[in-house]
Structure 1
Amino acid sequence: MTNRERVFQAYLVSAARLGDRKAMERLAEMCGPRLLAHAGRLLDDRQSAEDVVQSAWIDILHGLPRLADDRAFMPWALRIVSRRVVHVIRRRQRQRRLASQLRPEAPESATSQGPPAADAATIRALIDRLDAPHRATLALFYLEDLSVAEVAVALDIPAGTVKSRLTTARHKLRAFLKGETDEQDR
């Protein structure tokens, strides 16, 4: 995001806070795709991601009067989306536990995919192998181009945890790549 876009976004936030409906709509148009991409990366389900972002916008618009810094809007909004995602994931986990208690030995479906054709697809597949916290941290830092401090705000974790997750994720990706290379060389 360019500095000009950040300034315009801060203006929209300020106008939306004052009740300007057009500013709210423009803010949703401007930031909605990034929020949806973030939720989609965490949930791997477009429909659930859309639902999460839609409900998050209600919290975002109601919370605007309490936002102290208009320039911090995006990390703040990402944190709201992240919290909504956590609720969805927890609900899914409860449902899975309940389902597994009802049918304790349900076989897991095993689907195997061949090696990805492009390097980008390979990296994406390796990132998908990471757990959700590491995936989210990588995505916000590299794909959303947020700073460590902004990622910390978005995920509601300390900056040191962001750095630790980035380091761990990089090491895991290197190990995955080395493992992929070793397997292909055999």
Structure 2
Amino acid sequence: MVRTTARILDEYLVASARAGDRRSMEQLVQRWQARLVAHAWRLTGDFDGAHEAAQLGWIEIGRGLGRLQDGRAFPAWAYRIVSRICARQVGDAIGRRRLAEAVAAQPEVGPAEIGGELDAARLRAAIRALPPEQRAAVALFYFEDMGVAEVAVALNVPAGTVKTRLMHARRKLRAALEGES
């Protein structure tokens, strides 16, 4: 690697920012923001998502800069952080798309199977109206026959969060199916 003036300046800014110099951190952001956004855009293909990934990346960079031992490693380290965030974004988008497809593809359920006179179309519509997090928990728990612990792993949340999402989803579904608002 050739140590250009730009690389040496970046090393200096990293060292100064690690020492607490806010202006150095601001200059790092100015110098690297466009490159990190461009990198995120290449990975996600989404302009808004790329900006969000870069912003989240700067939060992690700011938190972890004190642990970066070698200022020369900053470019690779910063790109790795943004790459990891983009991978999470893409994974989340794929999961949301799969959930929407799974809910839409649910077979018609007869009234006897869903509890009396309830209409299967109303049930599907009520499930689609749930917030994405609750819809995901319901789909995995009821449609995929996963346990709470498995749903927690699949959604990357604590088991208690899954239980809370299921509880709120059941309340909303009950209210929607009983005609309450």
Same fold (TM over 0.5): yes
Match of 1:75 in 2: 76
Match of 2:21 in 1: 20
Q: How far apart are 1:93 and its partner, in Å?
A: 1.0
Q: Distance in 1 between matches of 2:37 and 2:45?
A: 11
Q: Distance in 1 between matches of 2:51 and 2:105?
A: 32
Q: C-alpha deviations, 1:28-71, integer Å up to 9, x for none?
A: 00011110100001111110110111011010011011111101
Match of 1:88 in 2: 89
Match of 2:65 in 1: 64
Aligned length in residues: 105
Q: Distance in 2 between matches of 1:91 and 1:38?
A: 19
| 1:78 partner amino acid | Y
> Which of the pair has the greater relative contact order for Cα pairs under 8 Å at 6+ separation?
1
Question: Is 1:103 aligned to residue 107 of structure 2?
Answer: no
Q: Which has the larger radius of gyration?
A: 2
Match of 1:29 in 2: 30
Q: Distance in 1 between matches of 2:3 and 2:12?
A: 14
Q: How far apart are 1:104 and its partner, in Å?
A: 2.8
| 1:28 partner amino acid | V
SS of alignment partner, residue 71 of structure 1? helix
| 1:69 partner amino acid | D
Q: Distance in 2 between matches of 1:67 and 1:104?
A: 48
Q: Distance in 2 between matches of 1:46 and 1:56?
A: 15
Q: Which runs of 5+ in 2 are unaligned?
A: 107-181
SS of alignment partner, residue 41 of structure 1? helix
Q: How far apart are 1:2 and its partner, in Å?
A: 6.7
| 2:83 partner amino acid | S
SS of alignment partner, residue 68 of structure 1? coil
Q: Distance in 1 between matches of 2:34 and 2:10?
A: 14
Q: Distance in 2 between matches of 1:72 and 1:20?
A: 19
Q: Which runs of 5+ in 1 are unaligned?
A: 106-186
Q: Distance in 1 between matches of 2:3 and 2:45?
A: 28
Q: How far apart are 1:102 and its partner, in Å?
A: 1.6
| 1:55 partner amino acid | L
Stretches of 4+ aligned residues off by more than 4 angstroms: none
Determine what percentage of the aligned residue pairs are the same residue.
Answer: 42
Question: Residue 2 and residue 69 in structure 1: after superposition, are their counterparts in 2 closer, same or farther (change >3 A)?
Answer: closer
Q: Distance in 1 between matches of 2:67 and 2:26?
A: 19
Match of 1:48 in 2: 49
Q: Distance in 1 between matches of 2:3 and 2:55?
A: 26
Match of 1:121 in 2: none
